[in-house]
Structure 1
Amino acid sequence: MKKLSIAPIKRKSENTISLINIVFLMLIFFLIAGQLAPPLDKTVDLIDSKDADPLPPPNALVAREDGSLHFRGSPTTIEAFLQEAASLEAVEEDVQSEQAGFPVRLIADRDLAATALIGLVGELQAAGAGKVTVVTMRTQ
């Protein structure tokens, strides 16, 4: 039996170093040439609001611990709140479609029962409110 010598197949080496170099050069170019935002005026010192007291959002419905609802400091009902808030939204011209309703911010007392809060959100949505956002306070 005769053995044939087979030459090993030479594979072309993939030269990815040149591709990496091009991408790296493009990255450096865009870092130097491009600017994401204009720099702030160096003569302006920004206000520090770390120690500022938080303010409640405007036009928010407040639910107290006993379940009573208040809007702008006076007691209210869901229907009266939605009617007054809808008129305020119309004045601000941020009204969405009538089917979707308008967004409602709800500030709930910490001691309000979770079941009462969920029921209140359901009543708001059933009465025609759109997205209901429960406002919370961030702790550090």
Structure 2
Amino acid sequence: MPDMPWTTPTPPASPDTEVYVMASRFETRTLLGALRFALRAPGIIGQIRKATGAHGAALRARIPRRTFLTLSAWQDRDALHRFAAGEPHRSSSRAAAAFMKESAFTFWTAKASDLPITWEEAERRLAAQEQARP
């Protein structure tokens, strides 16, 4: 599965607009779990492209390492929550729990002019979040 480069479903109103950003890292227990995760990704990508308030999203798939990174920017926290509660994300997330080894999430706000967020920034923030865990 190739990476999905940053895509912008709905551009923010202006460069000064504040957006809500989420980065996540998922690691599956097995290679089969990684393949299952990858098979669900196209449906979720399609959902993002239609989601109200989605200002950008990207996916980095490392199937041999059983690791996936996601990065997205939203109009606000509620837009992200509406997306997460919608289908196919909701049912895919529940099904993925059976083959997940671990996951990490981090959230922050940024100016629309900062989009697209770089993978380096996302990984830095995920690492800081994981170090802060007890």
TM-score scaled by length of structure 2: 0.24
Larger radius of gyration: 1
- In proportion to residue count, which structure has more helix? 2
